Amino acid sequence: MAKVKTKFVCQECGYETPKWMGKCPSCNNWNTFVEEVATKLTSKHTGIGHASATKPESITAVESKEEARIATDMPELNRVLGGGIVAGSLVLIGGDPGIGKSTLLLQVSDQIAKKDAKVLYISGEESTRQTKLRADRLGITADNLYVLSETNMQLISSQIDQLEPNFIVIDSIQTIFKEEVTSAPGSVSQVRECTSELMRIAKTKHVPIFIVGHVTKEGAIAGPRLLEHMVDAVLYFEGERHHTFRILRGVKNRFGSTHEMGIFEMKEEGLKEVLNPSEIFLEERSQGAAGSTVVASMEGTRPVLVEIQSLISPTSFGQARRMATGIDHNRVPLLMAVLEKRVGLLMQNQDAYVKVAGGVKLDEPAIDLAVAVSIASSFKNKVSRPDDVLIGEVGLTGEIRRVSRIEQRVQEAAKLGFKRAIIPENNLDGWTVPSSIEVIGVKSVQEALEIAIDE
């Protein structure tokens, strides 16, 4: 009798080793190795090689045409996807439990099914009756929306062959398994093989497939990183469970720009779009409060105006605290060091708390100037003008550096009634300034503070 060969696979990164190890040498995580039976899969089971019968051809001879897209009734989702759902694409959606991933995909399935297209919604976590209860709450009534509760990949493939749907949803990929793979559902091997099979179905049948992925406690999609490399687009559904606003963010898209953002509001009847997020983020802004500034940040191709709040207070301990919510926490001590060295504000014994209002996460350098002015405003206890918007990157020598897409940022500020925009001086040329807003160019943080606070 042949000896059964086993291997140990890291459940975080997919690293394989013939013996158990406490720490993965690839991703440096502890206790992530699980024993699996080493199974040699044939090419028909791997799902790879769907174009093996074709021959290489010159890139100049390949026919070039625009990919057909399926437009949903959600412009925010269409924006994140680059203009709609591309036929034959494989899209991964990740997010925290209960954030609204299944709700969003069920609503999208209903919209597509009402356009005379067959939609197959496959749930590995809920029965068909449970899915029906959620559909009744969301007001879903499409006849062409078919629901299947199944986790076996072979049975799912046969049902797809019989029904021939135009749109497929898999909820979720961690519950689907293949019988040829001996490991448990959700393991690295199962996720890799099932995703590969779904990719083969999407490419050969030219049908778009959306798959839901669970996330780890750190916020990354669970399973191997290979999962994100295999799919055509990766979307993250973000937001606080105790707040109604949800942010759909694209981090990978082979058919459009990345870092696009769509904003939704969770209501009793489902997700509703927020077409003007800047008004939402600024509607509860306090007037006449020190430490509050507004920045025009770019999320993909969309400018969004967000409030930056800072609170500077004397420390009660030996070491001052630096806390940040919504921005990189390392940016706060960096900007405070610039203010102390280049402007002369003594902040060594001050606690600093910086927050981006509304639950948005900002990671672009153009928010530096607004954060710095907000910190200085709270430290001096002087109110900055409420109708100012600040845009600019701050260098370590205190200079204000050029940022991208300045025209779109200023136009968004003018549309919402702001009267002044303080921007880098190098951004003044090459575009038309709206007549309803005054644009002031600054070279340094010192100059920006004199204009924004000390008037």
State what percent of residues in the chain have pLDDT above 90.
Answer: 59
Tokens 């920006």, residue located:
448
pLDDT at 3 > cutoff 70: no
Provide the pLDDT for residue 221: 66
Q: What is the pLDDT of residues 135-144, one digit of tens each?
A: 999 999 999 9
Give the neighbor-by-neighbor strand order of the sheet with 119-123.
Answer: 145-149, 119-123, 167-171, 209-213, 90-95, 233-238, 245-253, 261-267, 270-273
Mean pLDDT of 327-350: 94
Mean pLDDT of 178-203: 88
pLDDT at 344 > cutoff 90: yes
pLDDT at 50 > cutoff 50: no
Which residues are bridge partners to 130 per DSSP? none
How distant, in Å, are the alpha carbons of 176, 196, 308, 324 from that of 328?
A: 36, 35, 13, 7
- For residues 162 and 178, what is the distance between their CA atoms, to the nearest angstrom? 19
Pick the closest to residue 270 from 147, 122, 115, 110 (CA basis). 110
Lowest mean pLDDT: which of 185-189, 214-218, 311-315, 394-398?
214-218
Pick the closest to residue 355 from 371, 368, 379 (CA basis). 371
* 98 assigned ligand-binding residue: yes
Per-residue confidence band for 47, with pLDDT thresholds at 50, 70 and 90 = very low
- For residues 206 and 320, what is the distance between their CA atoms, to the nearest angstrom? 58
Per-residue confidence band for 446, with pLDDT thresholds at 50, 70 and 90 = very high
Q: What is the pLDDT of residues 375-432, one digit of tens each?
A: 999 999 999 999 999 999 999 999 999 999 999 999 999 999 999 999 999 999 989 9
Q: What is the pTM (predicted TM-score) of this model? A: 0.76
417: left (phi over 0), alpha (psi -120 to 50) or beta: left
With beta carbons less than 8 A apart as the criterion, state whether 448 and 390 touch.
Answer: yes
- For residues 249 and 263, what is the distance between their CA atoms, to the nearest angstrom? 9
Residue 151: exposure state from Cβ atoms within 10 A (0-12, 13-18, ≥19): middle
Q: Where do the DSSP E strands lie in 233-291? A: 233-238, 245-253, 261-267, 270-273
Provide the pLDDT for residue 2: 55
* 232 assigned ligand-binding residue: no
With beta carbons less than 8 A apart as the criterion, state whether 425 and 394 touch.
Answer: no
Provide the pLDDT for residue 51: 46
Q: Which residues contact 263 (CB under 8 A, 6 or more apart)?
A: 76, 245, 246, 247, 248, 273, 274, 277, 280
More confident position, 152 or 259: 152
* 102 assigned ligand-binding residue: yes
Provide the pLDDT for residue 130: 94
With beta carbons less than 8 A apart as the criterion, state whether 307 and 357 touch.
Answer: yes
DSSP string, 109-143: HHHHHTTT--EEEEESSS-HHHHHHHHHHHT---T
Other C-beta atoms within 10 Å of 270: how many? 19
Q: What is the pLDDT of residues 65-108, one digit of tens each?
A: 777 788 899 999 998 998 899 999 999 999 888 889 999 999 99
Per-residue confidence band for 39, with pLDDT thresholds at 50, 70 and 90 = low
Per-residue confidence band for 43, with pLDDT thresholds at 50, 70 and 90 = very low
Phi, psi dihedrals of residue 298, rounded to the nearest 5°: -100, 125
Mean pLDDT of 177-202: 88
pLDDT at 301 > cutoff 90: no
Provide the pLDDT for residue 49: 44
Amino acid found at 454: D
Q: Directed axis angle between helix 153-163 and helix 188-205, to 10°? A: 10
Which residues are bridge partners to 250 per DSSP? 235
Which residues are bridge partners to 285 per DSSP? none
Provide the pLDDT for residue 240: 67
pLDDT at 159 > cutoff 50: yes
Mean pLDDT of 204-231: 80
Tokens 């609503």, residue located:
107
Mean pLDDT of 184-194: 85
Tokens 């394989």, residue located:
16
Per-residue confidence band for 178, with pLDDT thresholds at 50, 70 and 90 = very high
* 100 assigned ligand-binding residue: yes
Provide the pLDDT for residue 455: 53
More confident position, 304 or 186: 304
83: left (phi over 0), alpha (psi -120 to 50) or beta: left
Phi, psi dihedrals of residue 44, rounded to the nearest 5°: -70, -20
* 96 assigned ligand-binding residue: yes
Provide the pLDDT for residue 81: 92
- For residues 431 and 405, what is the distance between their CA atoms, to the nearest angstrom? 10
* 95 assigned ligand-binding residue: yes
Q: What is the pLDDT of residues 96-137, one digit of tens each?
A: 888 899 999 999 999 999 999 999 999 999 999 999 999 999
- For residues 265 and 276, what is the distance between their CA atoms, to the nearest angstrom? 12
DSSP string, 305-364: EEEEEEEEEE-SSSS--EEEESS-TTHHHHHHHHIIIII----TTEEEEEEETTS----S
* 203 assigned ligand-binding residue: no
